[in-house]
Amino acid sequence: MEEGQHESQHKSQTQATVEGQHEGQTQASDESQHESERSSHTSLHDDAEVPQPDASSDIAGDLNPVEEPAPEDTVVIQAGEPPTTSTETSTPTTGKKPAVVETIVERQPKRHSPLRQSAPAWGSACLAIGIYIPTVCYAFGSTGLRHLSFTALNPSNTLLVLRALSELTSLSLVLLIHLSTERALWLLIAQNGGTRLSSFLALCPGSGPWGWIKLLYINAGGARRLSWLKLVVVVVPPAMGIVLLSNVDVRLFFDDHANFPVSAGIGVFNASWAFVYAPVAATLMASDYSALLQTSAVSWSVPVVDLGRSECDVSNFFSNNTCGWGYFLHGGSQLITPWPTLNTTRPDAPIYTIHSIRGLQLDFTYLGPDASFQGEHDCIVLGRDNDAMQICLSQAGPNAVNAKFVVCPLTVADSACLDDTSWFSAPGWTITMRAYARHATVHLSRANLSAVAVSDFSTPTAYSLSAADMLSVYNTTLGVRSTLASQSPAEQFVSMLSNNLMFTAVSAPTAAQATLKLYNLLAIPLYYFQPTYISPYSNVPSPDRVLEGLPPEQGLYVTASLSTMYYGLAIATWSVCLYTAVMGTLLLCCLVLVTVGSLPKTANGIPNTSAWSFVDFVAECDVEERQNTTAGVVEVVEEMELEEVAGARNEGTNTIIGTGTGTGRDMLVATRRLRAAKSRRSRAEVLEQSIVQIHRNI
């Protein structure tokens, strides 16, 4: 009785199982059909067709899929948003249940025009161009930008503006690079087959520098190259800003507003004029001796002409390795006619500029105590018995003279400085002076006639000097040899000079001031006795017109102008050109990418993107397995499939033996189904369905 009851219950359960299996197969068939309809409107991650299980086939065993290497992933655009399903109910008159009709309505997202989608990139491009052009113009010294009051009168603001412009250019260009490469990325994704996931990450702005560096180490050559390229183009703009500012100098520049002819500059030295104008010269020496070369109205400090020494001592006047002192003696307003003060035009121009004025560069160096001179041939004695000094000059080269100044000491001065010659052998002050002729543009202040700047120096050329002529000038203008007291200008000047040198030791720190005065004393003959100062040409000067009859070959007729000044940048030409070329090339490449990404023909497949690349990736992209077609890859895939099939057969056999079910036909069916599967995902679904079928049959 119990056995019959148990058998009846088992039959009812078996019947219920079969009915449930039939309903499940029917429902699965409906769902599969519905999924196939949806797959026509949306992109699938897998390209395999999974065959439906045969109801008459029984597969035994728990079959596990065999792992294989993951194929390359590609990023593609989704086909569109999922379709919506609308349900309509119709009520028939036959008395049966209402019929339900499902209609699939496609819902595609609204696509903006390519130009509207690339609007942020175009805005960034306009911003980059709008900053790049003023930066280049400002670096090249554009006339329209250099007269701004913010920069023209303040040198620190001049450099600040250039730095701000270069930084803004770099930032705007980096932003444009990100937007243009992102546009190029979407063009690659929208193409047929999409692009590699590694390439997507290399071009995606969200990866950042650290992400691009990591991509350099993956086994994908294209991604590595793109990462290198992205790192380089992002680093180049800041690097070019450094190049632009690597060699910058802030200088004074001048704009000329009114030009007129003048006579100015220093001509050729003529010692013969000293005999005619000796009384005047002695009086002038007393005033110019103290600071002739140290006054900017007459002279301008310049570096000495290279003497071939690699190192020198700039702090010591009395060293054999001293750097020396250089002065450009231009003469200033004292040698200009008409006088600059008579010109009252253009009160808004504060600068009086003399163009290409001829002057002398005088370089002074320490000679050393061992310098030798030939007695009366090279030396003269000036002064009186109780107050005298010796001046010695010898030829050191075509444009150089050696000088020695010795003062009669007090011990000798009490007796007779002119008769006792023992003090002539004292070391004294020894100096070498070299002279060069050169031209330059001198800018004088109209307020006090001092030099504001000297620019546009020409190449120095050797200026012929004669030690004998200079010595004759000193002898003619200052040669007072008398035991009687005298109030002549020459005697007063010699007394002042000897007293200054007598109470100053040669090597004492205070001796530097005395040395500078000796520099002035050596420069005075060259400054005085030349055509534009003490000469027959300037005997009766006319303040309101140029000097007449000056030697034309000496270039003393020049042009002057009234000018305004401003601070500007002097940037190395190579750095400005390199900055302009590199930044302009990057800007042009970005414009090409943005233009291509804005054309309807190439950008129709690009979806609506936002400012968040990750959100766009999730919303618009699918990552799929890439199908490789090379012979080597196909062979490897076939071998892996055979291994997977063999493994599945073994697992199926073990399962059937363990459960006591299954036949050789079941194994054959399972093997055919596995071979029919075209991908790992399809095989997994086949094995899963087979396992479910086996458990239902147990």
pLDDT tens by residue, 519-549: 999 999 999 999 998 888 877 667 888 888 8
Is the separation of the CB atoms in 419 and 513 below 8 Å?
no
Closest CA to 163 of 69, 243, 218, 219: 243
* Burial of residue 564 (number of CB atoms within 10 Å: 0-12, 13-18, 19+): middle
Half-sphere exposure of 233 (CA within 13 A, CB side): 27
Q: What is the pTM of this model?
A: 0.61
Quote the CA–CA distance of 414 and 412 in Å, as a whole number: 5
- Angle (CA) 479 485 490, round 5°: 30
Quote the CA–CA distance of 231 and 226 in Å, as a whole number: 9
What residue spans of 78-118 are helical by DSSP H? 114-117
Residue 603 phi/psi, 5-degree rounding, is -115, 15
Is the separation of the CB atoms in 334 and 530 below 8 Å?
no
pLDDT at position 515, please? 84
Closest CA to 419 of 483, 357, 371: 483
pLDDT at position 399, please? 93
310 token code pair: 């690699």
pLDDT at position 466, please? 93
pLDDT at position 69, please? 44
* Burial of residue 1 (number of CB atoms within 10 Å: 0-12, 13-18, 19+): exposed
Quote the CA–CA distance of 394 and 376 in Å, as a whole number: 11
Run of H or E including 566: strand 557-571
Low-confidence ranges of the chain (pLDDT < 50): 1-70, 80-86, 90, 93, 100-107, 482-483, 629-634, 660, 662
Looking at the chain, the number of H-run helices and the number of E-run strands are: 21, 16
Instruction: Please tell me what DSSP assigns to residue 697.
Output: H
Half-sphere exposure of 173 (CA within 13 A, CB side): 30
Encode pLDDT of 300-329 as tens digits: 999 888 766 556 666 666 565 667 789 999
Is the separation of the CB atoms in 185 and 197 below 8 Å?
no
Is the separation of the CB atoms in 266 and 359 below 8 Å?
yes
Q: How far apart are the first and last CA of the chain?
A: 25
Three-state SS at 79? coil
Encode pLDDT of 649-668 as tens digits: 555 555 555 554 545 555 55
